[in-house]
Structure 1
Amino acid sequence: MANGRGNPDGSAFHIGFDTSGAEAWFDGVALATEESIRPAAQAGAEELYFEARIRVPMSAESHYFYGKNSKSTGVRYLFEPGSLRNAIYQVFSKDNSGQMKATYHISWNHQKVPYGFMVEYGTSRAPAHPFIRPAYAARVDFALEVARAHLVKRVGEAI
């Protein structure tokens, strides 16, 4: 809000602005933005998560994975169809996030399905059947748009 006054003799004038209202509005926008970052990032991560679950190859029958245990002894693990798909997760990364930044990881649980890396990247005996990298390539632009739209909506509601 502006106000002005002049000297009676007309030799000078003064004008001032009260910006407290604008400062409060900007503070509200900043707070709404900060509070909306994580939900917006999660909305985008959700798109990538679902795309990875759609793209993961799934065997028709149970299969074995051969590995070694902590004693370097050979072990045979039985996995049911859909084990890899069911092991895909999305999680908020506190270590990679901060003020005005939220990061989510989408991957598979390596403890539940230790063969996931071999599916994604292949081995010397088996070709790769990637699903995480193609999911990202196919949907990253859409996921970013979803996140942006979510952020704009939530900040707009707060304003």
Structure 2
Amino acid sequence: MISVDFDFNKILLKLDKITGATAAAVRPAAQAGAQVFYDEARVRCPVSDSAHFFYGKNSKKTGVRYFFQPGNLRDSIYQFYNTRDQRPGTASYSISWNHQKAPYGYMVEYGTSRAPANPFLRPAYDAARGLAVQRVNEVLQASLKRKDA
């Protein structure tokens, strides 16, 4: 009869290191990917040549109209760490425009009955998806290398 004993403690310690390094790098890696989408959305966001007015839903009744400078929608784009959809080992960032600063953003992105859509968020996502995945992987791998050393 042959008996073989293996000591898996070193392997388990190595796996614990990898797990810890990956868990610590999840949020920075997600932010690196989100930054790619954020930058692409700002580049693709349409900017008018001149200032414009936006008439709110009740502007006929109230006479209120809002004045916006060129680039207002682009400058209102932001990213934030989304805590609503978090599970252990995940990190979620959202990219959108500030609806208070640019209430007409929805109409630009999706169009209206009188104006065609001029989408920029979805095309930004489609264009930057590969680079974002690459950045996430780079951050995760760099974190693992630091823990290895």
Per the normalisation by structure 2, the TM-score is 0.91
> What residue in structure 1 maps to residue 77 of structure 2?
88
- In the TM superposition, what whole-angstrom CA distance separates every residue of 1:77-109 from its partner, at most 9, and x where no partner exists? 001111101110111111112211111111101
d(CA) in 1 for partners of 2:147 and 2:82? Answer: 26
- 1:52 pairs, out of 38, 41, 45, with 41
Query: Alignment RMSD, CA only?
Result: 1.5
Q: Structure 1, residues 26-79: CA drift from partner, whole Å, max 9, x if none? A: 11110100111111111111011000000101112211001046xx74520001
Q: Percent identity?
A: 49
Aligned residues: 146
Within 1, Cα distance between the matches of 2:28 and 2:94?
Answer: 14
Task: Identify, as 1 or 2, the structure richer in strand.
Answer: 1
Residue 13 of structure 1, CA deviation: 5.3
Structure 1 runs, 4 residues or longer, greater than 4 Å off: none
Structure with the higher helix share, 1 or 2? 2
Residue in structure 1 matching 2:64, options 66, 72, 75 = 75
Aligned residue number for residue 124 of structure 1: 113
**2:19 aligns to what?**
30
Deviation per CA, 1:3-39: give whole Å up to 9, x if none: xxxxxxxxx5543222212111111110100111111
Q: Deviations over 1:132-157 (max 9, x none)?
A: 01101111111111111211121122
Q: 1: distance between equivalents of 2:97 and 2:63?
A: 23
Could you tell me which residue of structure 2 aligns to residue 9 of structure 1?
A: none
Show the counterpart of 1:8: none
Partner of 1:113: 102
**Residue 141 of structure 1 corresponds to which residue in structure 2?**
130
Q: Max radius of gyration: which structure?
A: 1
TM-score calculated relative to the size of structure 1: 0.86
CA distance in 2, matches of 1:128, 1:68: 19
- The CA distance in 2 between the partners of 1:145 and 1:95, in whole Å, is 25
Q: 1:152 aligns with which of 126, 129, 141?
A: 141
